[in-house]
Chains A and B, each alone.
Chain A
């Protein structure tokens, strides 16, 4: 049974529709990350699940019952907010234990449970402090503790790491993952950071402009992006996209400056339409000897330590190549690039959707 299921969920503010019919299911215990740029409707979607926003159309099911009309407290969700939303006038213990207090749990039980949760998050010694006296990471833990203590059906995270500095963000990411392994609670996690999404998720939901672009495992969305949008959004750098036409016999690919790539050996090469967008990851491209592959003009290189990124142009199309063994290449130099046929992805140039192969 799926823990959460969304069926054609829409959200409109007045006439302005921001979520255009979203369908997906999360299995019990699954860690699902909703990934997308700001304004794509991902937070709105999460808030609809939480009950903080009403659903304009469609159904949201949690644990097998439709919750559209239920109040937040009746849904069995716990949420970690972007700015933690800790109660500034309450101590850490009171923050964590607030939901129990509201539920009328007797003081002694409450204290034991608060203590247990706080210990498990390493907050044991801070119970008497106010949120204002805590560091960013500690506040984050308190917010998580407040969610945990309710033993909810579903955890909701709304960009919880975006206020932390880079180092702490990595540490908290690990902690969230560990917590999920321990508790096994179904989790929806919203973020705009694709690294967070890749490292945390069992499955990623990529959203753009109020619709789902793709649902899949991290490996899936990375290796088999279903649209040019996903292809260029996932990965750092994103996938190179080159416009091209199919040459004679479908075995030759003509790039926009007339250069060709041999498709021999590509499994689905024969049923491609005439016009395509070709995608290839920066690390799938290798430097070739003179006279082979595709000529490109290098504009500049970025040194990353373990590798170099060459920013180049094929014809007028920018292309980024990641190479471990490229020497120093002067700006303006020409290089030859090898585009292996089995690393190519094809997309419909009009819809941007992947062409199956």
Chain B
């Protein structure tokens, strides 16, 4: 796999990798180990002795209905955002790839939300979907109280899902478009000669051939929805109302830094970490088996 190897100066080789290894050790592996340690012990936030408690912290976590609520909320959030993002960005990429007049403008503009920081997107969406200002509020003029993410959990979930989806569509779109453009032209031409119309070709040829990309993005979006959603939640809903948008990552933050319960937060971190590891593993497996079409 690594074939090159031209130089033999071992000290120089070591000096070149040490800086990054140090950073990785201090900021990745050590904290991960620390999280494990805390998850199995009880300690005071700063100082004090810690005590081995086995699975107690996990038991506490798993017995807590609030935790299961956040798991459920996270799964709904993950499923909804991923479904919207994948279907919308794939459809857009298929349409842009038809290369009708103006397609360059679209492929340029759809990408722009990628630049938006999560909290900025969150604040913008909170305004646009505010129940008593902005735009969506107009619906309340006709149907009083039908839309209020500040009090209605479902509305709040819709708000954060839409925000996350909006922010991610551009990123997914460029991947799908690149995948579509790498399909050899003659394949589409051959199917056109075989009698398939534009829609039929999308379904029979293009979509199957971007399946590897779709699968890759599926995993990326699920992972992102678990870990990358903090900024949106923190600015829009604070996990509310009534924990309706209390995603796992937000709960960890809240338990660790607001409630200062390190052990509980650590146990929750370990669970989330396992989830991310499983997803990443699936992705690795798939990278190995990745089909390349010449």
Collect the chain B residues with CB atoms within 8 Å of residue A72's CB.
189, 192-193
Within 8 A of B (CB), among A66-101: 71-73, 77-79, 81-83, 85-89, 98-99
Are the C-beta atoms of B192 and A146 separated by less than 8 Å?
no
- Complexed CA–CA distance, A63 and B195 (Å): 18
Asked if A115 is at the interface of the complex by the 8 Å CB criterion, the answer is no
Collect the chain B residues with CB atoms within 8 Å of residue A282's CB.
none
Closest CB in chain B relative to A187 CB, distance in Å:
15
Within 8 A of B (CB), among A95-153: 98-99, 102-103, 146, 150
Collect the chain B residues with CB atoms within 8 Å of residue A81's CB.
186, 189-190
Collect the chain B residues with CB atoms within 8 Å of residue A78's CB.
193
Smallest Cβ-Cβ distance to B188: which chain A residue: A85
Are the C-beta atoms of B195 and A102 separated by less than 8 Å?
yes
Contact of B193 among A77, A83, A88, A89 (CB under 8 A): A77
The 8 A-B pairs of least Cβ separation, nearest first, read A85-B186, A99-B194, A85-B190, A73-B195, A102-B195, A81-B186, A88-B293, A89-B208
Collect the chain A residues with CB atoms within 8 Å of residue B192's CB.
51-52, 71-73
Are the C-beta atoms of A85 and B194 separated by less than 8 Å?
no
Give B contacts to A, CB under 8 Å: 184, 186-187, 189-197, 200, 204-205, 208-209, 211, 291, 293
Asked if A50 is at the interface of the complex by the 8 Å CB criterion, the answer is yes
Closest CB in chain B relative to A211 CB, distance in Å:
26
Smallest Cβ-Cβ distance to B196: which chain A residue: A102
Collect the chain B residues with CB atoms within 8 Å of residue A146's CB.
190, 194
Smallest Cβ-Cβ distance to A47: which chain B residue: B189
Collect the chain A residues with CB atoms within 8 Å of residue B184's CB.
83, 85
- Complexed CA–CA distance, A99 and B196 (Å): 8
Are the C-beta atoms of B209 and A88 separated by less than 8 Å?
yes
Collect the chain A residues with CB atoms within 8 Å of residue B211's CB.
89
Within 8 A of B (CB), among A138-175: 146, 150
Are the C-beta atoms of A85 and B189 separated by less than 8 Å?
yes
Among B191, B193, B196, residue most surrounded by chain A Cβ atoms (within 10 Å):
B193
- Complexed CA–CA distance, A226 and B189 (Å): 36
Collect the chain A residues with CB atoms within 8 Å of residue B195's CB.
73, 99, 102-103
Smallest Cβ-Cβ distance to B198: which chain A residue: A71
Smallest Cβ-Cβ distance to B186: which chain A residue: A85
- Complexed CA–CA distance, A185 and B150 (Å): 72
- Complexed CA–CA distance, A78 and B192 (Å): 10
- Complexed CA–CA distance, A102 and B197 (Å): 9
Collect the chain A residues with CB atoms within 8 Å of residue B189's CB.
50, 52, 72, 79, 81, 85
Among B189, B190, B196, residue most surrounded by chain A Cβ atoms (within 10 Å):
B190
Smallest Cβ-Cβ distance to B291: which chain A residue: A88
- Complexed CA–CA distance, A175 and B205 (Å): 29
Among B184, B186, B208, B211, residue most surrounded by chain A Cβ atoms (within 10 Å):
B186
- Complexed CA–CA distance, A26 and B279 (Å): 60
Smallest Cβ-Cβ distance to B189: which chain A residue: A52
Collect the chain A residues with CB atoms within 8 Å of residue B200's CB.
102
Smallest Cβ-Cβ distance to B197: which chain A residue: A73
Closest CB in chain A relative to B101 CB, distance in Å:
15
Smallest Cβ-Cβ distance to B211: which chain A residue: A89
- Complexed CA–CA distance, A241 and B254 (Å): 89
Collect the chain A residues with CB atoms within 8 Å of residue B205's CB.
87
Are the C-beta atoms of A85 and B208 separated by less than 8 Å?
no
- Complexed CA–CA distance, A150 and B209 (Å): 24
Collect the chain B residues with CB atoms within 8 Å of residue A99's CB.
193-195
Closest CB in chain B relative to A149 CB, distance in Å:
10
Are the C-beta atoms of A83 and B186 separated by less than 8 Å?
yes
Are the C-beta atoms of A73 and B196 separated by less than 8 Å?
yes
A79 in contact with B196 given A85-B184, A87-B205, A88-B209 (CB within 8 Å):
no
A73 in contact with B186 given A89-B209, A102-B200 (CB within 8 Å):
no
- Complexed CA–CA distance, A78 and B247 (Å): 56
- Complexed CA–CA distance, A99 and B195 (Å): 6
Q: Could you list some 11 contacts between A and B, CB below 8 A?
A: A50-B193, A81-B190, A82-B186, A85-B186, A87-B191, A88-B293, A98-B196, A102-B195, A102-B196, A102-B200, A150-B194
Beyond the given A82-B186, A85-B184, A102-B200, could you list 15 further A-B residue pairs with CB under 8 A, ordered by the A residue number?
Answer: A52-B192, A72-B192, A73-B192, A73-B195, A73-B196, A79-B190, A79-B193, A87-B191, A87-B204, A88-B209, A98-B194, A98-B204, A99-B194, A99-B195, A102-B196
Collect the chain A residues with CB atoms within 8 Å of residue B293's CB.
88
- Complexed CA–CA distance, A89 and B195 (Å): 18
- Complexed CA–CA distance, A14 and B268 (Å): 63
Contact of A73 among B187, B193, B204 (CB under 8 A): B193
Collect the chain B residues with CB atoms within 8 Å of residue A85's CB.
184, 186-187, 189-190
Among A78, A83, A89, A150, residue most surrounded by chain B Cβ atoms (within 10 Å):
A89
Smallest Cβ-Cβ distance to A50: which chain B residue: B193
- Complexed CA–CA distance, A92 and B175 (Å): 29
Closest CB in chain A relative to B193 CB, distance in Å:
5
